[in-house]
Amino acid sequence: MDERLTFHEPKLVDEVCVVEPPDEVFKLGAKEWSNAIVGCFVGKRILFKIVKEHLEKKWRTWGAISVITRDNGTFLFKFDNSAARDLVLSNGPWEVRGAYLALRGWEEGMSLSKDSFSSIPVWVKLANVSSELWTKSGLSYVANALGVPLCMDAATTAGNRLSFARVCIEMKASGNFPTSYKVRRRNGTLVDVMV
C-alpha cells in the first residue's frame, strides 16, 4: 500500500473549515469495510491479545480475519468475504473467557462507539426449558427474562432438538448477561433455565 497522501483544499464556511470528500471516496471506504463486523463485550473488558487469539482460532475456518481494536472497548472484525461475515453473525452467541460478545454488521455512517450498542439482537441458547414451554408462546415467555424475543432457529421451531432452544433476543447492551434465571412452572416450582 502506498503511504503517501494527497492534499485537497478544504472549504471555509462561516469561518469554519469544512472538508467535503467526493462520493467516490466514501464508496471506496464502504467497499473496504463491507465485510466487517463491529463488536463489544457485555459486562467485561477483555484484553485485545486474548480476543484476537481466541476469535481468530474460532473463525479462521470460514476465511481470513483481521481483528482491530479501538480504545473505547469496541472491536472491528474484518473478513475477506461476506459469507464468512454472515456465518459469524448467524452462528452465535460468541463469548471469550465467559464474556458475551455483542456483534453488529458494519454499516456506512454507523458510530463505532460502545454507546451505539444501546440494544442488540443476540442469539442465545436456553437449556433446561420445561417441555410444556417448548412452544412459540412458551419460549416467548421464557426468553422475556433476557429482553424482547425476536425469533427462534429452525431446529427450535421444528422441535427437533430439545437439549436447548436457540432464540434471538433484542437485549440492552449495557445490561448484564446472566448465566441462568428461574421460571415458575404451573405447579409453583421454580426451574433454573441455563443461558
Task: Note the pLDDT tens digit of each residue in 90-100.
Answer: 887 788 987 87
Q: How far apart are the first and last CA of the chain?
A: 45
Task: Give whole-number Cα distances, 112 to 115, 116, 117, in Å.
Answer: 8, 7, 9
pLDDT of amino acid 9: 92
pLDDT of amino acid 116: 66
Nearest residue to 89 via CA among 111, 135, 120: 120
Once rounded to an integer, what is the mean pLDDT over residues 77-84? Answer: 96
Nearest residue to 192 via CA among 124, 119, 126, 98: 126
The total number of residues written for the chain in this structure: 195
Nearest residue to 114 via CA among 187, 27, 32, 42: 42
pTM of the model: 0.65
pLDDT of amino acid 184: 94
**What's the whole-number average pLDDT of the chain?**
89
Class of domain 21-116: alpha beta
pLDDT of amino acid 92: 76
Coil vs helix vs strand at 191: strand
pLDDT of amino acid 115: 64
Task: Note the pLDDT tens digit of each residue in 44-56.
Answer: 789 999 999 999 9
pLDDT band for position 1 (cuts 50, 70, 90): low
pLDDT of amino acid 181: 94
Once rounded to an integer, what is the mean pLDDT over residues 164-170? Answer: 89
| Contact (Cβ atoms closer than 8 angstroms) between residue 172 and residue 42 | no
Residues of the chain with pLDDT > 90, as a percent, come to 61
Task: Note the pLDDT tens digit of each residue in 101-152.
Answer: 888 899 998 877 766 666 777 788 999 999 999 999 999 999 999 998 988 8
pLDDT of amino acid 4: 92
pLDDT of amino acid 127: 96
Give residue limits of the domains in the chain.
Answer: 21-116, 119-194
Element (DSSP H or E) covering residue 52: helix 48-59
Question: In the 8-state DSSP scheme, what is residue 9?
Answer: P
Nearest residue to 180 via CA among 138, 142, 154: 142
| Contact (Cβ atoms closer than 8 angstroms) between residue 22 and residue 6 | no
